[in-house]
Structure 1
């Protein structure tokens, strides 16, 4: 545990990519096999649930520290992170207990779901008494799940590749799928080819970079395919050994969430893997993403939900045919294979081939690009006809060319402290626009888009102009105006403004504007009417 706790803290202290890779590489080169598989599980979102209640954790920690609940709450509001607050208030313990490894602690915790609340309390207090302050902090992260450390899966794959002298693409494929850290070793997962392969395993998704500069910089337009960039859920449809699997880009096996697509089991040839987008779809065309959003989090898909939010899969690549990995083939050849598949496949309203756009030159494409939102698209995908299907985000052969975000000027009204290296800074903001009664109505939260220097300035303003405190949230004097960008907009009964925006972020700090010059709720509603 000491080694993993040190890794966690070192990673949290740096924002330099190469330093993070080197730290991960050292860990995966030296840690015991059982610890490496658990570390990999944590970095790839496979932490098991231990069913602990955060309120009870606060009470147990306050009792152990012998401080009143109000003092713990004030400490929590100041620190902004429950796991870290607990580690700071608990008294130090001097003991000679045997050091437990990372895997030992997971073995220790796996019984928690079956225990009573009192038994859980005893178990957790015993753990806190065996750990140092930094180890308690990391232990709490493992226990409660808020495991945000600024390490992407791509960095982990790169580090393991350097530590094992293996190709990152091979590692990326082997760590995907439905493996469990308690049931497989690091050696079995990474080194034994085919040993842990299973029919459901997807391929690593190929991710595009945003177009840099003018589109004509890509050279000869005849060397490129252009498609609409659909606004949906990136997914792979896998059909192997008479079973259908649906994986999302977030590595979630989501077959049961999309029952309409199960008909593909009767239409695809065995050993087929398609890459594409699951979108809301009606009357032969895609619908805005918010239609799909209404059913994503539902556990039970009723007949009404399926009728109100119909969907389809739009395929734009084929990765496996006849059980053979064809990703190394040129894009043009894979496209021909995909078109042949759809030409021979029985037509169905839930599966469509992503159309290629016809254009004579870049100027034609620029004109067509302005029509993206009319087609429920975010812009274009540009794919080099000679390129292979790669793993992860690579520059050169796939580019995304998105339309400019929708935007509106809004006033900062609430703030909350961030996490990690921003624990002491107010970086989570709530923004509002004016309604007809000259009242500020909150409509969006955002925490990205400012430089470190701007964050420091805003943090200073918040601390000097706090009006009220509600737990960790501060009400701020409404003086700062920011341009807020977003990708989509829709009606929402859950929000006071009646409107929800998708992917809000800060585009700029409008120091040239007074708060009275910020936009209105009516402006937001006008945008909604244009793009609903």
Structure 2
């Protein structure tokens, strides 16, 4: 893992995507097959393949306990380095020491040997599982010979690599390493659900032999927002279709024979929460991968998202709950059928294929669509938008009819038209280090409103809306105005850094929902930072009374609680 760490550090230190893929490709090219497969997976930030549903079940406390046993540092020492770096791998790296008994760890740690020990951690079960995981973790950390090696091993174990290397760049790195076409590597990865398998196939020139692996989730194609009431210049080229934007949960359904899996945006299998959808999909002939939205629906009308919350992450769904909050899958795309991938087919043709195989039922529905007239007016689009809102939807989706399906991409071929519910002036009370290209800046902000006594109550977290320059300017200010750890709010996230409540933001949002995640009892859905309010003191941020008022008006508009 020494060379893995050297490559990862070099990748982290360059902002150039081209340089990142070049460094990665040069490293991968030198590896034997067993190390190549494991390293390719590790560079995605995950210990296992995407299609592998196993979890390490290795908490930060176990890693810290193993590190303390190996290297001998105090909790206060770790707190200081964690506040400085913001992730556990970087925080533990300064404490690396050679093991007292070198003979115990004569085998060098490689990607393949690390993967074997991670397999053992994932398999640990029974009463002594916790102790076994810690001992295995100690053996891994004890095999590390440098601070960087330990840092990246811990980052792999925590799934928090933070070197600005997304899966797409790993795909480009594999292509660079073995002179393969990036498109061929990407399609093979979508089929296999395992970049390790794909990397080995690229090395041997056998990418075309990889077939669709049902049960391996594919990255979702995403839509870019379009401003309501704008000039809609984006719609002037090409032909477009219009769909309702559902107020539900995006989901990808895999049917392979009799087995049905439902993957969320986080690529977790959530089929157990929606047994009526599983039964409906099970009636389809053949194997397929479908894209759509899970919605709460009664008598043909979509219910507000707050109803669907009662079904989230429920492993045991009672008959009463099934009757109280019935769920349907509104399907708007098909990604594979049998052994055939359809991603490169135009959307209009994918929609035609979908209509051929999808019988409509109360739990499985073909999402309706209409053509956007090329010479249509903004008024007509707004009328369609208002009609969608009247049906209980969030707004409209606008999709180019010739668009291929681009997993994990947010381009201009799919657009979402929504209208913000309102804005609030809030004050930042905690910050977190970002991810990817923002890994070295504080870009994630938890914010609060005032209660009637002036006490700050958190209501949400936002990480979009500000420019890189604004975030870069705020980061040193937040670091200089950190508060002691004991001042952290009761419901703080693990990586939150409490800060002095002085930075006021205006935040826009689409929905307010009741939630126990924040002290206010509410949470903003899809919050976006509109601007920094340098002109407003923290004492003048909005109140919880205004939040309740916006919530009441929203509920009244939706037709009651």
Give the C-alpha shift of residue 313 in structure 1: 0.9
Gaps of 5+ in 1: none
Query: What CA distance in whole angstroms lies between the structure 1 residues aligned with 2:158 and 2:219?
Result: 28
Matches within 5 A, 1:282-293: 282-293=298-309
Query: What CA distance in whole angstroms lies between the structure 2 residues aligned with 1:75 and 1:258?
Result: 44
Give the corresponding residue for 1:105.
Answer: 114
Matches within 5 A, 1:242-253: 242-253=258-269
User: Do the aligned partners of residues 72 and 389 (structure 1) sit closer, same or farther apart at CA in structure 2, a change above 3 Å counting?
Assistant: closer
Q: Secondary structure at the match of 2:485?
A: strand
CA deviation vs aligned residue, 1:261-309 (integer Å, no higher than 9, x gap): 1233454232444322222222312233343344332333333443443
Matches within 5 A, 1:406-485: 406-416=422-432, 426-466=442-482, 468-470=484-486, 475-485=498-508
Give the C-alpha shift of residue 161 in structure 1: 3.3
Give the corresponding residue for 2:329.
Answer: 313
Query: What CA distance in whole angstroms lies between the structure 2 residues aligned with 1:81 and 1:148?
Result: 9
Note if contact 1:373-1:531 (Cα within 8 Å) is conserved in structure 2: no
CA deviation vs aligned residue, 1:305-352 (integer Å, no higher than 9, x gap): 43443211112223445765455544334434444545xx3x421122
Note if contact 1:279-1:287 (Cα within 8 Å) is conserved in structure 2: yes
**More displaced 10-residue stretch of structure 1: 61-70 or 4-13:** 61-70
Tell me which of 210, 218, 222 is aligned to 2:235.
Answer: 218
**More displaced 10-residue stretch of structure 1: 522-531 or 242-251:** 242-251
Give the corresponding residue for 2:63.
Answer: 57
Give the C-alpha shift of residue 66 in structure 1: 3.9
Query: What CA distance in whole angstroms lies between the structure 2 residues aligned with 1:287 and 1:320?
Result: 30
Give the corresponding residue for 1:153.
Answer: 167
Query: What CA distance in whole angstroms lies between the structure 2 residues aligned with 1:335 and 1:421?
Result: 36
Note if contact 2:433-2:444 (Cα within 8 Å) is conserved in structure 1: yes
Q: Secondary structure at the match of 2:369?
A: coil
Give the corresponding residue for 2:154.
Answer: 140
User: Do the aligned partners of residues 129 and 44 (structure 1) sit closer, same or farther apart at CA in structure 2, a change above 3 Å counting?
Assistant: closer
Query: What CA distance in whole angstroms lies between the structure 1 residues aligned with 2:152 and 2:88?
Result: 11
Give the C-alpha shift of residue 490 in structure 1: 0.7
Q: Secondary structure at the match of 2:168?
A: helix
Gaps of 5+ in 2: 49-53, 489-494, 556-561
Q: Secondary structure at the match of 1:107?
A: helix
Give the corresponding residue for 1:191.
Answer: 206
Q: RMSD of the TM alignment (CA)?
A: 3.7
CA deviation vs aligned residue, 1:438-495 (integer Å, no higher than 9, x gap): 3322212234433344334434444554554327765544332101233322112453
User: Do the aligned partners of residues 299 and 173 (structure 1) sit closer, same or farther apart at CA in structure 2, a change above 3 Å counting?
Assistant: farther
Query: What CA distance in whole angstroms lies between the structure 2 residues aligned with 1:256 and 1:171?
Result: 32
Query: What CA distance in whole angstroms lies between the structure 2 residues aligned with 1:292 and 1:46?
Result: 32
Give the C-alpha shift of residue 400 in structure 1: 3.1
Give the C-alpha shift of residue 380 in structure 1: 2.4
Q: Secondary structure at the match of 1:30?
A: coil
Query: What CA distance in whole angstroms lies between the structure 2 residues aligned with 1:225 and 1:423?
Result: 38
- Establish whether residue 510 from structure 1 lines up as the match of residue 525 from structure 2: no
Give the corresponding residue for 2:377.
Answer: 362
Query: What CA distance in whole angstroms lies between the structure 2 residues aligned with 1:9 and 1:442?
Result: 36
User: Do the aligned partners of residues 474 and 93 (structure 1) sit closer, same or farther apart at CA in structure 2, a change above 3 Å counting?
Assistant: same
Tell me which of 294, 302, 318 is aligned to 1:302.
Answer: 318
Q: Secondary structure at the match of 1:175?
A: helix
Give the C-alpha shift of residue 499 in structure 1: 0.7
User: Do the aligned partners of residues 280 and 13 (structure 1) sit closer, same or farther apart at CA in structure 2, a change above 3 Å counting?
Assistant: farther
Matches within 5 A, 1:253-402: 253-265=269-281, 267-320=283-336, 324-341=340-357, 345=359, 347-357=360-370, 361-363=376-378, 364-369=380-385, 373-393=389-409, 395=411, 397-402=413-418
Matched positions, count: 527
Q: TM-score, normalised by structure 1?
A: 0.84
Query: What CA distance in whole angstroms lies between the structure 2 residues aligned with 1:454 and 1:295?
Result: 39
Query: What CA distance in whole angstroms lies between the structure 2 residues aligned with 1:79 and 1:391?
Result: 32
Note if contact 2:483-2:499 (Cα within 8 Å) is conserved in structure 1: yes
User: Do the aligned partners of residues 8 and 170 (structure 1) sit closer, same or farther apart at CA in structure 2, a change above 3 Å counting?
Assistant: same
Note if contact 2:193-2:217 (Cα within 8 Å) is conserved in structure 1: no
CA deviation vs aligned residue, 1:79-122 (integer Å, no higher than 9, x gap): 43222222212335697945332111222343342676666555
Give the corresponding residue for 1:163.
Answer: 177
